[in-house]
Amino acid sequence: MIYRSLFPRDFLSELERLQNEVRQNFDISPSIRGFTRGGFPALNIGSTPKSIEIYAFAPGIDPASIDVQIDKGVLTVAGERPSVLPPAEAKATAHIDERFSGRFRRVVTLPDDIDASAVSAKYRDGVLHISIQRREAAQPRRITIQ
């Protein structure tokens, strides 16, 4: 070896691990599932009076291969994203390698008032949109005073 690397090989991933550790320690009571920000797919979650809306940013995946399950009030989104990187024997170089590849699984705890039988899931432009209805009885009602 002519040039010695300044950094250990896995410098960036090491840095990321350190960063996660720092964040986790600053959070006084972190979630039992750890600090998942930065995981794949990225999740945006919102709620309306009638439903819970979950957006999973999972580009480049065949929608048929995504596994969405609701079990005991826990939503799981799992699947696999193939790598585009060239195999080691190919005459090609990966200069930047930032996109996620491999198996993924993300878990979200749902509120108690959801109706697990009224779920719709759509995949569009690389975003999986899961909409879960709240139970009728749990929706806000105006009570008339007699």
C-beta of residue 132 within 8 angstroms of C-beta of residue 73: no
Residue number with CB closer to another protein (86 or 145): 86
- Interface with another protein includes 93 (CB under 8 A)? yes
Q: Which stretch binds another protein (CB under 8 A): 18-26, 71-79, 90-98, 135-143?
A: 90-98
Question: Among residue numbers 59 through 78, which ones bind another protein (CB under 8 A)?
Answer: 59-61
Q: How far is the CB of 32 from another protein (least distance, A)?
A: 16
- Interface with another protein includes 45 (CB under 8 A)? yes
> What residue type is 72 in one-letter code?
K
**Cα angle: 97, vertex 101, 104; to 5 degrees:** 145
Task: Please identify which residue in the block is written with the tokens 């006084």.
Answer: 28
- Interface with another protein includes 86 (CB under 8 A)? yes
The C-alpha atoms of residue 57 and residue 130 are separated, in whole angstroms, by 11
In this structure, what token pair is assigned to residue 128? 């999986």
The C-alpha atoms of residue 120 and residue 84 are separated, in whole angstroms, by 30
Residue number with CB closer to another protein (116 or 129): 129
Count the neighbouring beta carbons within 10 Å of the beta carbon of residue 133: 18
Of 17, 23, 33, 99, the residue at the interface with another protein (CB under 8 A) is 99
Task: Please identify which residue in the block is written with the tokens 């009728």.
Answer: 136
Distance of CA 57 to the CA centre of its chain: 7
Q: How far is the CB of 146 from another protein (least distance, A)?
A: 29
Q: Which stretch binds another protein (CB under 8 A): 34-42, 66-74, 113-121, 138-146?
A: 34-42
**Could you list the residues that contact another protein (CB under 8 A)?**
37-38, 41-49, 51, 53, 55, 57-61, 84-86, 90-100, 123, 125-127, 129, 131
